């Protein structure tokens, strides 16, 4: 990790967020939409974890700690919570997509849409 | 009793959470026991909310630190900043709590008959109580990350409840739209929390408000938070999902979803007033809220005029009514940096906006419940297919009339008392706001009269010969909300002095919120 510039993870997170917003706004397939949201979640999680990273830091576990800096533990706790929540959200979304497919026979958001106006 | 009040804020969140997972167990034995459990837990929560409200009126902001040796020990010994999860309940939070406890109780009672023909009712009540937990959590937490977690709990259970009746295609579509919007909104909130944490190393709203600098990342975080919360509250132009999701949910859930919209609105106000506070006093944020609030008022009501689906029609009216609150509180935010103007009309504008939240939270769920009662009896939501139902459904007709008069701001009903407070105060800020408000109010009355005419008036239709009045539990739920409307109608001054003005002061007085966290001595 020492050879990677420290702001590299932030660029990756920004890229993930940007691509995922493109997918969410422009893609018509509902499964692709869900993948976009999963990518958005991944981008935000990557951002949170890289916030807490300290160069050469060790994991924040208080047994047999070697000398030197320790990475921040709070963002890791936040990320863990966020991952768990996103699993629930994605599972619920996929359930609904299955039902939408059963009712309309299509995953295209233009074709499966009933409500307008 | 003192111990109960000390721990009441966490109990209000924990009791529905525990009950939610007891329901499938109790539901296996008997249906009556399950219904009784739902009612008893929600009624006990409502009792705790009112006890806590009384305590806050006397003793000021209520603080509860989770995991500390004493609940008011906000900063652990040896630390400089509050690192524990803190629940902080002030005048504004408790107002939202009162609304949420009444509406969730009414919604649960309404559900007993309304979804009686559905399968999987145990899971329905589990989700309903989880949604109650999420709502209370959002209102009472003093911690930004907890706000995100509870927002997600309310969103996930809300989406599952919208899509609960899986036999209809439109419920799935509405639920899917809701969960997509919620997921994007809450990830934006999380990103904003990350931006704030990176700079100030804190997640507590009070501690953040003390050190916040209004740097560029702070502005980005503010924009993200505001977009996320206004999107979830259904502000124009981010409202397109709102009628789709709200019109297809079971009517009891639609009533509760209105309050989750208010909870998101509360979160937006909390961010603007408490987290950023005085720094926004001279900025454009107040103006942005006013302009989009006006747009919401106008677009909501004009779209509602054309609707044929009764629930969809009421959903557009909900968007329009939410606009009044954005305008009222937006005016207060726009003059926050100017103490003279704030005293002249800014505080009244905020009070009016908040009072309208309370009123809207009583009459809009009532109207959604009457819409649900119509759907329950006729099996359709199409207003053009209904007619002559006043002959058969006397209670529903009377309750619908109360709701209609209230939403249109007919004196002396409660909708009028909050609208007049908004009109008088925002007129001094800019007359055009009041003029738009009155026009929207007239259009609201016109469209509700039209809907009343097509659903209730006229001769009895042959296909509805067999229609009976809705079951008793649905009437009880509607009467609870109508009683709330009538109580506010009879005693507006009492409500304003005891509940609304403390809530407005809680928003304006940022220092008290900060002091409650950082100034407390162990």
Q: Residue B469: CB partners within 8 Å, gap ≥ 6?
A: B392, B393, B394, B395, B396, B475
Residues of chain B whose C-beta is under 8 A from some C-beta in A? Answer: 145, 148-149, 152, 155-156, 159-160, 163, 166, 168-170, 172-176, 179-180, 182-184, 186-187, 190-191, 193-194, 197-198, 203, 243-244, 247-248, 303, 306-307
CB contact under 8 A, B198 and A30: no
Are the C-beta atoms of B443 and B297 separated by less than 8 Å?
A: no
Give me the residues paired with residue B382 across strands. Answer: B309
Q: Give the residue from B503, B476, B489 showing the smallest Cα distance to B105.
A: B476
pLDDT of residue B403: 93
Are the C-beta atoms of B397 and B455 separated by less than 8 Å?
A: no
CB contact under 8 A, A115 and B173: yes
Separation between Cα atoms, residue B514 and residue A108, nearest integer Å: 49
User: Distance (Å) from the C-alpha of residue B464 to the closest C-alpha of chain A?
Assistant: 26
Buried b (16+ CB within 10 A) or exposed e, B261-282: bbbbbbbbbbbbbbbbbebbbe
- Find the radius of gyration of the CA atoms of chain B: 22
A48 pLDDT exceeds 80? yes
CB contact under 8 A, B179 and A89: yes
Tell how strand B86-89 and strand B62-65 pair up.
antiparallel
Tens-place pLDDT, residues B421-478: 999 999 999 999 999 999 999 999 999 999 999 888 888 888 888 888 889 999 999 9
Residue range B119-138: mean pLDDT, rounded: 94
Tens-place pLDDT, residues B243-294: 999 999 999 999 999 999 999 999 999 999 999 987 876 678 989 999 999 9
Separation between Cα atoms, residue B50 and residue A19, nearest integer Å: 48
Residues of chain A whose C-beta is under 8 A from some C-beta in B? Answer: 17, 24, 30, 33, 37, 40-41, 44, 47-48, 51, 74-75, 78, 81-82, 85-86, 88-89, 92-93, 96-97, 99-100, 103-104, 112-115, 117
Q: Residue A110: CB partners within 8 Å, gap ≥ 6?
A: A28
CB contact under 8 A, A47 and B191: yes
Element of type H or E holding A86: helix A74-104
Domains and CATH numbers, chain A: 10-57+67-104 (1.10.287)
Token pair of B318 as six digits: 């909900």
Are the C-beta atoms of B161 and B124 separated by less than 8 Å?
A: yes
B521 pLDDT exceeds 50? no
Interface size, chain A vs chain B, as Cβ–Cβ contacts under 8 Å: 92
Neighbours of B129 (CB within 10 A): 27
Separation between Cα atoms, residue B445 and residue B36, nearest integer Å: 39
Angle between the N-to-C axes of helices B241-248 and B169-200, in degrees from 0 to 180, rounded to the nearest 10: 130
Residue range B292-306: mean pLDDT, rounded: 92
Least confident of A12-21, A72-81, A91-100, B311-320: A72-81
User: Distance (Å) from the C-alpha of residue A93 to the closest C-alpha of chain B?
Assistant: 6
Exposed, middle or buried, B398 (CB in 10 Å: 0-12/13-18/19+)?
middle
Are the C-beta atoms of B111 and B124 separated by less than 8 Å?
A: yes
B107 pLDDT exceeds 90? yes
Which DSSP string corresponds to B295-348?
HHHHHHHHHHHT--BHHHHHHHHHHHHHHHHHHHHHHHHHTTT-HHHIIIIIHH
Task: Between B2 and B20, name the one with better pLDDT.
Answer: B20
User: Distance (Å) from the C-alpha of residue A115 to the closest C-alpha of chain B?
Assistant: 7
Token pair of A12 as six digits: 């990756």
CB contact under 8 A, B194 and A99: no
CB contact under 8 A, B149 and A96: no
């Amino acid at each position: 990790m020492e050879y990677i510039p420290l702001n590299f993870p932030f660029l990756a997170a920004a890229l993930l967020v940007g691509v995922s917003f493109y997918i969410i706004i422009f893609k018509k397939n509902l499964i692709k939409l869900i993948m976009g949201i999963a990518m958005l979640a991944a981008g935000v999680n990557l951002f949170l974890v890289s916030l807490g990273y300290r160069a050469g830091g060790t994991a924040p576990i208080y047994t047999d700690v070697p000398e030197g800096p320790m990475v921040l533990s709070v963002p890791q706790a936040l990320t863990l919570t966020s991952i768990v929540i996103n699993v629930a959200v994605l599972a619920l979304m996929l359930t609904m997509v299955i039902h939408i497919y059963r009712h309309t026979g299509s995953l295209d958001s233009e074709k499966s849409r009933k409500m307008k106006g | 009793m003192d111990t109960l009040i000390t721990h009441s804020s966490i109990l209000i969140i924990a009791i529905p959470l525990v009950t939610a997972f007891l329901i499938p167990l109790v539901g296996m034995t008997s249906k009556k026991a399950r219904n009784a459990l739902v009612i008893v837990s929600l009624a006990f929560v409502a009792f705790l909310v009112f006890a806590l409200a009384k305590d806050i009126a006397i003793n000021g902001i209520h603080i509860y630190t989770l995991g500390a040796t004493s609940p008011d020990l906000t900063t652990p010994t040896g630390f400089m900043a509050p690192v524990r999860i803190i629940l902080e309940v002030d005048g504004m939070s408790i107002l939202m709590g009162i609304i949420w406890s009444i509406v969730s109780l009414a919604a649960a009672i309404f559900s007993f008959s309304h979804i009686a023909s559905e399968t999987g009712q145990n899971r329905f009540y589990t989700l309903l109580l989880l949604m109650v937990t999420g709502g209370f959590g959002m209102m009472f937490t003093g911690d930004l990350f907890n706000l995100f977690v509870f927002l997600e709990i309310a969103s996930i259970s809300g989406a599952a409840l919208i899509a609960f009746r899986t036999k209809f295609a439109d419920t799935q579509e509405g639920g899917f739209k809701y969960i997509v919007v919620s997921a994007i909104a809450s990830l934006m909130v999380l990103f904003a929390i990350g931006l704030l944490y990176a700079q100030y190393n804190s997640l507590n709203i009070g501690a953040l408000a003390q050190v916040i600098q209004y740097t560029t990342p702070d502005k980005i975080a503010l924009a993200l938070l505001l977009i996320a919360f206004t999107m979830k509250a259904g502000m124009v132009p981010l409202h397109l999902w709102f009628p789709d999701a709200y019109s297809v949910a079971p009517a009891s859930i639609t009533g509760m979803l209105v309050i989750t919209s208010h909870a998101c609105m509360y979160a937006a106000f909390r961010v603007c007033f408490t987290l950023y506070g005085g720094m926004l006093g001279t900025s454009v944020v107040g103006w942005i809220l006013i302009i989009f609030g006006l747009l919401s008022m106008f677009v909501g009501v004009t779209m509602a005029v054309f609707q044929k689906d009764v629930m969809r029609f009421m959903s557009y009216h909900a968007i329009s009514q939410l606009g009044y609150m954005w305008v009222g509180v937006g005016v207060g935010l726009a003059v926050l940096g100017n103490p003279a103007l704030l005293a002249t009309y800014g505080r009244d504008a905020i009070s009016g906006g908040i009072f309208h939240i309370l009123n809207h939270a009583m009459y809009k769920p009532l109207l959604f419940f009457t819409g649900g009662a119509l759907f329950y009896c006729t099996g359709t939501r199409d207003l053009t297919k209904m007619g002559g139902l006043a002959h058969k459904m006397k209670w529903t007709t009377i309750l619908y009339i109360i709701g209609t008069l209230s939403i249109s701001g007919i004196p002396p009903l409660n909708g009028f008392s909050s609208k007049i407070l908004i009109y008088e105060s925002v007129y001094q800020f800019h007359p055009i706001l009041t003029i738009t408000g009155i026009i929207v109010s007239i259009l609201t009355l016109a469209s509700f009269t039209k809907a009343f005419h097509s659903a209730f008036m006229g001769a009895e239709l042959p296909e509805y010969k067999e229609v009976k009045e809705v079951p008793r539990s649905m009437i009880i739920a509607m009467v609870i909300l109508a009683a709330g409307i009538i109580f506010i109608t009879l005693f507006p001054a009492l409500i304003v002095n005891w509940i609304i003005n403390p809530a407005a002061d809680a928003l304006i007085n940022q220092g008290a919120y900060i002091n409650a966290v950082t100034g407390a001595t162990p």
